[in-house]
Each structure stands twice: as structure tokens, then as C-alpha cells.
A and B are shown apart, each in its own frame.
Chain A
Amino acid sequence: MRHTLRTKFFALLILLVLLAVSTSTWLHVTSVRDAMKKEFEARAVSLARFIALQYVNPLLKNQPQEITKAETIKLWIGEAQHSDAEYVELYNTDGQRLTSYSKPEKRIPDQPDVSPSFIMNLLQGDNQLIARSHSRKQIFDYLVPVELNHTQIGVVRIGLDASGYYNERASAITTNIQFGSVLLLLISFIAYVATPYIIQPIKDLAQTARRFGTGDYQARSSVTSGDELTELSLQFNRMADQIKKLIDNLKEAGHYHKIFPYVIMPQQLFVRIPKHLQKNLGIPYAAILLSRGNDEPQEYHNYIVENGKLTAIETPGGPPKVLSELAELTQTDTDEDTGKLVKRSRLSKKLASIFSDADQNDITDALVFRLENYSKFGYLVLARDDRDFPDTDVRLINGMLGQIVTAISNAQNFQEVLVDERSGLYPRKVLKLALKESGEFAGEDNLWLARLGLDSPVVDPTRGDIHLKVAKFINRHGHEAAPVSDTDHFFVASHDKSWQFLVILSGWDKTDVKTMLQNMLADLKAQGEEYSGTTMSAGVTPIRSDSSADVMFKLSQTALDEAKNRGGNAVCFSE
């Protein structure tokens, strides 16, 4: 059974009303009972005394057979309408019944006990009276000892009509039930009218959460009811902000994932990952250690970032000494729970030696994640010098690890598979795809598409070897031009039609692009006689998100044509 909040609220109100009415009824009935008790007892005592005093002589003389004056008693209880005594009996102090009289058609019950011993027992006690009920529920049976001038003169038994009490009690109950019903209706109505005001903020919050849950990460609660719900709303918004931030980060990572295989040179990716981990999680030390082989890493590229700055790219040359220790650790300390977390290394602070800045004693906590898909290919090492890693970080990084592994793996694979091994250039198809993807970054980065064209009066255009040499030159020159420490710079080159190359440039502003290309063209010219008379022009167009690859290809061609018209080694822009 599903209870809505409103149903529960109603049910609670009804229960409270029932409780209140029941309590009120109980109190009312109790007060009626107490009042009637006093009234009945007072009536019984006064009537008993009144009757007994008429019969002092008979009561105190042992002549029971002579003192029955039923006719006289009849006056006190008889048919008189004002009297509600049903019967009267007189007992002397020896417990002997001296007389008894009841209303016509009323029978005096034998029960409860009125034996002489009971009466005498009663006289010995402190009782003002005792009251009993008998099988005739509508009568209260009173036994009243009567004293005159400190002398006990006897006991009067009186049966009083109790219907007055029961009627009064029934009336109290009825009144309360009627009142309760009205109250219930009233409160139900008020609750019906009022609940929306109470529940609406909760509904609003739920609606916001639903929107957020279905992907609207901008959704924020605006509940300002001024109570605990406002606090809840505030906390929800904070939570949403955090999630949004994380999602943004993931999105960004996702971009890299999409682009990495095609666009970004692996080494830039490898730098970028630690950088972003630092930036988003505030981890001061991060490094990716990669092997080139499929077996246990023997040859590493180590991309180490310290405090947001790339400090080293170690080119192949064998693992740092620490890695051999790491290899030992991985064999013995695999973390079963997290799977990928190889070592949480307070024990192995020496890992910190891979970070040039960090004194290993400063490292308070280090995490080592194994990067592997089908075979081990590296490690992600993170370290802090301020405090331990919170568990949330560990979980978060574990969650991201799959993506990182895929990205790195793809980058490595594509590098091996797609890149022309002779020239290091990507196929034109890949570049076109990368162009489309990198368009998404347009506006954030300095992204350019450059078309480089060669003209040589001496070189036979059909000579592929010359073309390959030029291609190698361009690729090498481009990568050398990119500052090592700046991961925003990248350079992706591709073959195009005969004697033409397409290059995606990132990280250089317009002036720098021009300078860089002019230097490249000059260098090429200086390569020697082999290229004597060869000119190289460049046409550059900015990469825009709203332009298609074909348009940008055409624009770059227009710019190249213009550069050629200006003469060799010119760089022209077409925007």
C-alpha cells in the first residue's frame, strides 16, 4: 500500500482528533461519575438518616416483630414521584432485619449480602456507607450505618434508581461523539485546504530533483518557506552544484576521450590527465607512468605534473628506480576491494621520489592505480603532502579510471595504427574527423587549420621520397615548436593532395602561428639543394564550430592560393 504524504497527514490528523475526542469523553465521563457518585451517596445518607431517626425506638429495642411500619416508610420512598428510592430496609445493630419495603412491583433483591454478620461487620468499620451493585444494574444498593448522638442505632439499606447516572453518562458520551464528529469534519476541511501550502514546497523540491535526475543539471530548487525545507533546498542546491561540477569535469574528460584518438598527440593526453586530476580534485602530485610494451613495463614514458606544472617527460630509457619497487609492490599488495587501487602507499612513501619537488617525507598519502586493459601498461600515481586522500576521491578516481584507461589505450593504439609510420602524419580522413571534434573547442583555444603547399620547379612532384621527407620535416618541426611545458599546444598534420599538407594547430595565437609557419618554411628552404627553388606557402583559417570541414578546407585553399600569388614562403590568413 502506498501512502502519499497527504494521506499520511490526514491519517495523523484523524488519529489526533480521535485521541482528543476519546480523552475528552473519558474526562467528561469521569467528571460525571465523580459528581454523580457524591450526589447519590449524599442522597442515600440523608435519606437513610431521615428514615432511621423515625425508628430509634424500634431499632434500639429488641422487638422486631412490632416495629414494621411499612406504611410509614412508604411515605418516604413510596409512590412519591420525587423519591428515587426503590426499596428500604432497616437493620438493627445486631444485624436483624426489622422491616423492609419496596415500591409496588419492585422486588427487593436478596443479593448482595445482607446477612447479620455482614451488617455487624459493616458497623465495626469506618464506613460512611458502602455501595454495591447487584444483578439489577439500574439500581445502586447502599448500606448506611446510622449514628445518633455517637450511638450506633442501626443500618439502613436503600436501593437508589441508577438510571439517572447511566443516562447522564450516555449523554456525556453522545455529546462528545457529536462534538468530535463536527471537529473531525472541521479539521478535515482545514487540512484539505491547508495541506497544499505545506506540501507544495516538498513537491517543488521533488520536481527539481526529478528534473536534475533526468539530466537538467541547471535545475535548482527555489523553496523559501523559511523552515527546514529551505535548509533542505539549500543543501540540495549545494549538492547539485557539486554534482554539476563533477559532471562538467567528466564531460570535459569525455571530450578528451572523443578527441584523444584522433587529434591529440598521446603525450599531450598523458600530460593532460594528471593536470586535470590536479585541477579538479586538488591533488598536488600526479604522474602517469607508461610502458610502450605489452609486457611488464620495461620502458617508461613518465608524465609528471607537480602543482599544475609539467615537470618532466622522461623519454624511453627504462623505469625509474622507484618503479622497480612499485613492481614489487604490485605483486604483493593488490587491493582486493577496489580492484584497481594497487597500493595506498603510506608504507611506500619512497614512491614520492618520482616527484622532483617533493621531499618524500612530505608525502602524507599516495595512491597508485594500475592502468591496464588486456595487459599492464602503466600506473597512475597520485600523492598529497597536506592530508590523506578522502575516500570520495578514491571512489571518484576509481570511477574515472576506466575512461582514462580507454583514452590512453586508444591514443596509443591509434598512434600505432593510424599514424603513417614513415612520416608520422595522420591520414586525411582522421584529420577531417579531428577537425570536426576540435571545432567544439573553438573559441576557447587558439585553433587553426593550416594548409601547407609546396612548389618546386626542379623536384618531380611524382617523387614520393621527397614528399615523405617533407612530411617528416613538418611533423618534427611542429612538435618541436610546441612548448614542452604547455599541454594546450598541439600539432596534428596530415597528408592532403599531392604536395599539400593539412595541419591542425592549437595553442598559438595568430602572430605566433604566422611566425612558427614562416620559421618552418625558412627551415625547409634551408634544408639544402635538394629543395633548391622549392617554395612553401601556407594558408591559414581559424577553426570554427559553425563551419564544416569542407568549408574550412576551401578557406584554407583560398588562403594558400593567395599566399602563392604573393610569392614563396608567405603565410596568408583567410577568415
Chain B
Amino acid sequence: MFQRITPLSLLLVMLVSLGCSQDNNYNETFQIPENKQNNARFTIKFGRVPSVTVTELLRQNAPLIKHLKQEMNVNITYRFADDYRGIIEGMDRGDYDFAWLGPYSYVLSNCFSDTSAAYRPLVRPVRHDSQGKTSDQYRGIIFTRAGSSINTVSDLRGKSLAFVDRQSTSGFLFPMALIIKSGLNPSSDINYEFLHRHDQVVNEVKRGNYAAGAVYENARLEEYRSIQKANRQLPVLARTSPIPTSPIVVSPEFSERHPDLVEKFTTIMTTLQQTAKGRDILSGLDSARYKKALDSDYDAVKRVLKTVPPEFTASKYSCQGNPQG
């Protein structure tokens, strides 16, 4: 019996010793699979110009992103650009699958000569306007500081103006159209600069660094929280014509490759208001609901664009003379 026990026991001891003497390979040591791909998900890239800081925007959008990830079973990431030009350049490179565009930048991207197939608008928000009614349009304003001598747009002659961005609809294109309409020549009668963010424009005008500024209608509420107080402190000189709300667009490549995801995205966005969770998300996005967007919705923008001389827009993105425009 001894002769049988001895080799058996030695074998056991050797086995146990072997268990203690593994090599220094981490994966063998800790037994972690190299890359668990059993639930691999497709990643969708959103492109956006942050209206606030990047982290704040991510925080605001978190409920929507979470909802989209769950419903579409995808991963979502963002690509940010400092301005709409950057977004359009990113679209040019194919950086995004979906992008939040301003109405103006949508029109610009749509008539972008290098793009063989245009980015297609999918949805756009319907918001509560200042009167509490829902509307799929908004307006830009030209405002000044309380106590200034400026009462009309014409009074801006020789004054300094703060705009948001050359591709901004409410922060540049529509107000500029008003100025031109009022008979002022932008290149000679006013000084203007781009501050890239609506809140920046509000702040600079408030501080007196600029005589007036152009922003979207509710931008002053970020500062004053009350439209009455905002009107007192930063009175409105003029309101632009209605602007269709900003579209979320999809790239032609993505649309072609994943029509199901596009369809799903559109459905999710347009039915958010039907559930309590969706309504929470919408309130975080300052919207009442989302509706389907059509290219024709932005004809108003195209019309206004034609009233602004090309030298006041980035020439590359101007649709002036473009057959598509």
C-alpha cells in the first residue's frame, strides 16, 4: 500500500506546488478575459457645439443619452467643436453620425459644395416660448444695456456689437439681416465681434464692453431668470423674424448603413413626451417635444441668408450662387 500512497501523495504535492508557482502573467494570474466582447455595442458619435461648458452639457444631456443607450443598445460619445464652423468641418471629415446644428449651420452644411449627399434633418424641438405657448420657432433679439442712448436699430451706427458666431442663426444671421434691413452697412457703420457663446454676449453687453448684442430670445434668462428683469436691464431693440428650431441631423453614410437605427432614433425622439421619463428628459432639454424636421422647414433661413451679402458670411460656407441654395 505504501508503494501506492507515495507516488500519489507526491503527485498531489506537486500539483499544489504548481498552483503556487504560476508565472507572472497578469491574465493568468488574475484570470481576466482579455476583452469581453460578448455584449459589444455599436458606438454612435454625436457632434455638437456646446452652448455651455462640455461637462455641464454632458450633465444636462445625461438623461437623454442614458435613455438613447438603453433603447437603441448603443454606446454614445460626443465630439465637440468650439463653433459651428468646427462642426461643419467635422462633418466634412465624417467625424459625426448625428449632429446638433443651428438652423443656419444646417443650411450652410446642406449647401456645402464638397458634400455629395447632404446631412438630413431628423427632428427638431418644439419649445415653450416666452408667452408659455409651445412653438417650433424662436427668434433672435438685438439688445442693449439699460440706460444707453440706443433705442432703435438705426441708433447702432458707429457702435460696437457683439455677435455669437458667424454661423449662428439667432446670434448673427437674422440680427445681421435686421441691421442691413434698417439701412446700416455692417462693414462701415458698425463694429462687431464674435464671442462664440450666447452667455458671453449677454455678459459683455451687460458689462458695457459692447453697446449691443445679438443672441437668441431667451439667452438673457440665463443671467436674470426673469423676462421682466431682463427687459429692464437689457432692453430689446429688435426681434428677428421666426427661426425654425435647430435640427438634429444624420450623416448620409450613417443613414445608409444603419437606417434602422436612424428610424429608431427618430421614433424615440418624437415620442419622448408620451412617457413621464421622456417628459423629464424633455424638460431637461428645455423642450416640450420633438417633431420631425424637414428640409423645407429651413426655407425661411435660406431666404434671410440671401439678404445678407456674402462678405458677411464665411465665403466657403456661403450658399450664395450655389444651385442647391
Question: Of the candidates B16, B32, B39, B54, which one forms a contact with A125 in the assembled complex, judged by CB atoms under 8 Å apart?
Answer: B39
Q: A residues within 8 A CB of B20?
A: 22, 25-26, 29, 173
**Contact segment of A53-61, A260-268, A285-293:** A53-61
How many angstroms between the C-alpha atoms of A315 and B95 in the bound complex? 134
Q: A residues within 8 A CB of B78?
A: 60, 151, 153
Q: B residues within 8 A CB of A62?
A: 79, 81, 90, 93, 95
Interface membership of A198, Cβ < 8 A: no
Given A15-B9, A149-B61, A152-B43, A126:B36 Cβ within 8 A: yes
Q: A residues within 8 A CB of B75?
A: 123-124, 152
Q: How far is the CB of A61 from chain B (nearest CB, A)?
A: 5
Q: A residues within 8 A CB of B39?
A: 125-126
Q: How far is the CB of B251 from chain A (nearest CB, A)?
A: 15
Interface membership of A19, Cβ < 8 A: yes
How many angstroms between the C-alpha atoms of A127 and B75 in the bound complex? 13
Interface membership of A140, Cβ < 8 A: yes
Are A18 and B27 in contact, with the CB atoms below 8 A? Answer: no
Q: B residues within 8 A CB of A125?
A: 35-40
Q: A residues within 8 A CB of B6?
A: 11, 15
Are A60 and B45 in contact, with the CB atoms below 8 A? Answer: no
A110-166 contacts to B (CB < 8 Å): 120-127, 130-133, 137-138, 140-141, 148-153, 162, 166
B64-82 contacts to A (CB < 8 Å): 65-66, 69, 75-82
Residue on B with the closest CB to A133? B26
Are A3 and B29 in contact, with the CB atoms below 8 A? Answer: no
Q: How far is the CB of A115 from chain B (nearest CB, A)?
A: 13
Interface membership of B41, Cβ < 8 A: yes
Q: How far is the CB of A222 from chain B (nearest CB, A)?
A: 28
Q: How far is the CB of A36 from chain B (nearest CB, A)?
A: 8
Interface membership of B227, Cβ < 8 A: no
Q: B residues within 8 A CB of A56?
A: 54-55, 58
Q: A residues within 8 A CB of B77?
A: 60, 93, 123, 151-153
Q: A residues within 8 A CB of B10?
A: 15
Question: Of the candidates A18, A25, A149, which one forms a contact with B59 in the assembled complex, judged by CB atoms under 8 Å apart?
Answer: A149
Q: How far is the CB of A511 from chain B (nearest CB, A)?
A: 69
Are B32 and A60 in contact, with the CB atoms below 8 A? Answer: no
Residue on B with the closest CB to A121? B35
Are A150 and B76 in contact, with the CB atoms below 8 A? Answer: yes
Interface membership of A23, Cβ < 8 A: yes
Given A15-B5, A150-B69, A57:B35 Cβ within 8 A: no
Are A150 and B16 in contact, with the CB atoms below 8 A? Answer: no
Residue on A with the closest CB to B10? A15
Question: Of the candidates B26, B34, B45, which one forms a contact with A93 in the assembled complex, judged by CB atoms under 8 Å apart?
Answer: B45
A23-48 interface bits toward B, Cβ cutoff 8 Å, 1 = contact, 0 = none:
10110011001000100000000000
Are A131 and B80 in contact, with the CB atoms below 8 A? Answer: no
Residue from A60, A122, A153, A162 with most neighbouring chain B CB atoms (10 Å): A60
Given A22-B13, A173-B20, A61:B61 Cβ within 8 A: no
Interface membership of A387, Cβ < 8 A: no
How many angstroms between the C-alpha atoms of A53 and B55 in the bound complex? 9
Q: B residues within 8 A CB of A16?
A: 9
Are B27 and A132 in contact, with the CB atoms below 8 A? Answer: yes
Question: Of the candidates B26, B37, B38, B43, which one forms a contact with A132 in the assembled complex, judged by CB atoms under 8 Å apart?
Answer: B26
Q: Count residues of chain A with CB under 8 A from any CB of chain B.
A: 47
Total A-B contacts with CB atoms under 8 angstroms apart: 132
Question: Of the candidates A25, A123, A130, which one forms a contact with B34 in the assembled complex, judged by CB atoms under 8 Å apart?
Answer: A130
Given A25-B20, A149-B61, A152-B77, A130:B9 Cβ within 8 A: no
Interface membership of A247, Cβ < 8 A: no
Residue on B with the closest CB to A173? B20
Q: How far is the CB of A146 from chain B (nearest CB, A)?
A: 11
Are A141 and B26 in contact, with the CB atoms below 8 A? Answer: yes
Q: B residues within 8 A CB of A138?
A: 24
How many angstroms between the C-alpha atoms of A23 and B16 in the bound complex? 6
Are A123 and B35 in contact, with the CB atoms below 8 A? Answer: no
Interface membership of B62, Cβ < 8 A: yes
Q: How far is the CB of A111 from chain B (nearest CB, A)?
A: 13
Q: B residues within 8 A CB of A422?
A: none
Are B80 and A122 in contact, with the CB atoms below 8 A? Answer: no
How many angstroms between the C-alpha atoms of A152 and B62 in the bound complex? 11
How many angstroms between the C-alpha atoms of A12 and B35 in the bound complex? 46
Q: A residues within 8 A CB of B79?
A: 60-62
Are A123 and B76 in contact, with the CB atoms below 8 A? Answer: no
Residue on B with the closest CB to A129? B32
Q: How far is the CB of B59 from chain A (nearest CB, A)?
A: 5
Are A33 and B59 in contact, with the CB atoms below 8 A? Answer: no
Q: How far is the CB of A507 from chain B (nearest CB, A)?
A: 59
Given A11-B2, A25-B16, A29-B20, A133:B35 Cβ within 8 A: no
Are A61 and B81 in contact, with the CB atoms below 8 A? Answer: yes
How many angstroms between the C-alpha atoms of A138 and B24 in the bound complex? 8
Interface membership of B17, Cβ < 8 A: yes
Residue from B38, B58, B81 with most neighbouring chain A CB atoms (10 Å): B58
Are A15 and B13 in contact, with the CB atoms below 8 A? Answer: yes
A95-122 contacts to B (CB < 8 Å): 120-122
Residue on B with the closest CB to A128? B36
How many angstroms between the C-alpha atoms of A160 and B76 in the bound complex? 29
How many angstroms between the C-alpha atoms of A265 and B284 in the bound complex? 134
Are B19 and A130 in contact, with the CB atoms below 8 A? Answer: no
Are A149 and B65 in contact, with the CB atoms below 8 A? Answer: yes
Are A57 and B95 in contact, with the CB atoms below 8 A? Answer: no
Q: B residues within 8 A CB of A11?
A: 2, 6
Q: How far is the CB of B87 from chain A (nearest CB, A)?
A: 11
Residue on B with the closest CB to A138? B24
Are B24 and A137 in contact, with the CB atoms below 8 A? Answer: yes
Interface membership of B322, Cβ < 8 A: no
Q: How far is the CB of B284 from chain A (nearest CB, A)?
A: 12
Q: A residues within 8 A CB of B9?
A: 15-16, 18-19
How many angstroms between the C-alpha atoms of A173 and B38 in the bound complex? 37
Interface membership of A82, Cβ < 8 A: no
Question: Of the candidates A3, A8, A25, A120, which one forms a contact with B43 in the assembled complex, judged by CB atoms under 8 Å apart?
Answer: A120
Q: How far is the CB of A121 from chain B (nearest CB, A)?
A: 6
How many angstroms between the C-alpha atoms of A56 and B95 in the bound complex? 17
How many angstroms between the C-alpha atoms of A138 and B25 in the bound complex? 10
How many angstroms between the C-alpha atoms of A162 and B78 in the bound complex? 35
Are B16 and A127 in contact, with the CB atoms below 8 A? Answer: no
Are B54 and A57 in contact, with the CB atoms below 8 A? Answer: yes
How many angstroms between the C-alpha atoms of A19 and B14 in the bound complex? 9
How many angstroms between the C-alpha atoms of A61 and B83 in the bound complex? 11
Interface membership of B314, Cβ < 8 A: no
Residue from B5, B17, B61, B80 with most neighbouring chain A CB atoms (10 Å): B80
Are B27 and A133 in contact, with the CB atoms below 8 A? Answer: yes
Q: B residues within 8 A CB of A18?
A: 9, 13
Are B35 and A152 in contact, with the CB atoms below 8 A? Answer: no
Residue on A with the closest CB to B24? A137
17 contacts between A and B (CB under 8 A): A8-B2, A11-B2, A19-B9, A25-B16, A29-B20, A33-B30, A56-B55, A61-B79, A62-B79, A62-B95, A124-B40, A124-B41, A125-B39, A130-B32, A130-B34, A150-B66, A162-B24
**Beyond A18-B13, A62-B81, 18 extra complex contacts between A and B, CB < 8 Å:** A8-B2, A22-B13, A29-B19, A60-B77, A60-B78, A93-B45, A121-B37, A122-B35, A123-B43, A125-B38, A126-B39, A127-B35, A130-B32, A132-B27, A133-B29, A149-B61, A150-B65, A151-B78
Q: Which 3 A-B pairs have the closest CB atoms?
A: A22-B16, A133-B26, A149-B62
